[in-house]
Amino acid sequence: MGKDGRVSTDASAAAVEPVQPAEPAQAAEPQAVAATLTKAAIFLVAVISPGAGSESAARQLCADLAGLVRAVGFRDLSGRLTCVTGLGASAFDRLTGLARPAGLHPFRELRAGGRHAVSTPGDLLFHIRATRMDLCFELASLITQRLDGVGSIVDEVHGFSYFDERDLLGFVDGTENPTGAGAVRATIIGDEEPAYAGGSYVIVQKYLHDLAGWNALPVEEQEKIIGRTKLSDVELDDAVKPSSAHNALTTIVVDGEEVDIVRDNMPFGQVGSGEYGTYFIGYARSPATTEQMLENMFIGSPPGNYDRILDFSTAVTGTLFFVPSQTLLDSLADDDDDDDDAANDTTTTSGATAPAGAAGDGSLNIGSLRGDASR
């Protein structure tokens, strides 16, 4: 969760030829991390099966995603379909062979009293957004088809916009999100990690709410827990706002300056089973900011002064991902392609005839899903 946004290297990695990140002097294109909020979203977390074949297929999927988004999104350009792809710590090792980004590690579990920020598995995150759920659903279907036999979906959440951007607790969610250039500054890595400029970090958690217990509280008590008025979404005055208020604990100040993250939280639920919740997703140029927010919430600041929203909300997942730049993501399958080209070269030089119309590099000039972004 966040302010007003309720929130080892595998042995196989040694065999992966390192993917060369863009030169620091070149501007790497970020993924759509700072895209404006939408009315619909699907969150997929996947685990890649063991084996070089599965890893190669996962790399190819990552490299093809931009083309898949174009193919589905072209059906309705006003639908603003995007997909942000993140790699967990182990997956980054297995798929790239590069040194991990400075802030990438398994999600750090937190325990205090009965509160528990759990750490759950996740190699790949697909954050799919659009103004229409059918666009999200179609892209999610194509992704899961590509994962068949090479990985499995371990968590799937379909999020929706709830009235005037409220969560299921009844409060406006994400009021303090930075926008425009401010969102880019908050989320996109710059000179502090030049090898991974254009990338980002994202933490996801799925929270389940005890709505019956929450709704039994007087509105005034709810407002003190959140730190804002329920109807008008006005921040409570410091004279009446408790130090344990959600927005107080998730305000992070470094050297006198407030440090922002971008949340794209979405409500979700199943009325038949009585499951109601918030999917927290927080992007930042360093995970340390979000991790400090979570420590304040679960442990307390000072310890014991914890976020009372956790008396009614339970985290059932928790994973940290690195979001590579679009430039790096597109290049993930390049080494596999180079291996194929080398095999083709060996075949043709041994006397076989290259297919008619083939280019000098062995391709058929048909192109791929990645293609040229200008086409």
Place of tokens 């005890």: 210
Q: Considering 173, 307, 330, 335, which one is annotated as catalytic? A: 173
The answer to whether the beta carbons of residues 221 and 239 sit under 8 Å apart is no
Which residue, 157, 126, 165, 147, is CA-closest to 38?
Answer: 165
**CB 83 within 8 Å of CB 139:** yes
Rounded Cα–Cα distance for residues 128 and 113 (Å): 35
Query: Is position 173 annotated as part of the catalytic site?
Result: yes
Backbone angles phi, psi at 117, to 5 degrees: -90, 100
Name the CA radius of gyration of the chain, rounded. 22
Torsion angle, CA of 96/100/103/109, rounded to 10 degrees? 80
Please tell me the distance from the alpha carbon of residue 181 to that of residue 13, in angstroms, as a whole number: 36
For the purposes of burial, counting CB atoms within 10 Å of the CB of 324, is it exposed (0-12), middle (13-18) or buried (19 or more)?
buried
Q: Where are the alpha helices (DSSP H) in the chain?
A: 52-73, 89-96, 133-147, 181-187, 211-215, 219-226, 246-249, 287-298, 326-330, 334-349
Q: Which amino acid is at 44?
A: L
Closest residue by Cα to residue 3 from 214, 284, 303:
284
Residue 5's CB is within 10 A of a number of other CB atoms, namely 26
Where in the sequence numbering do the catalytic residues fall?
173
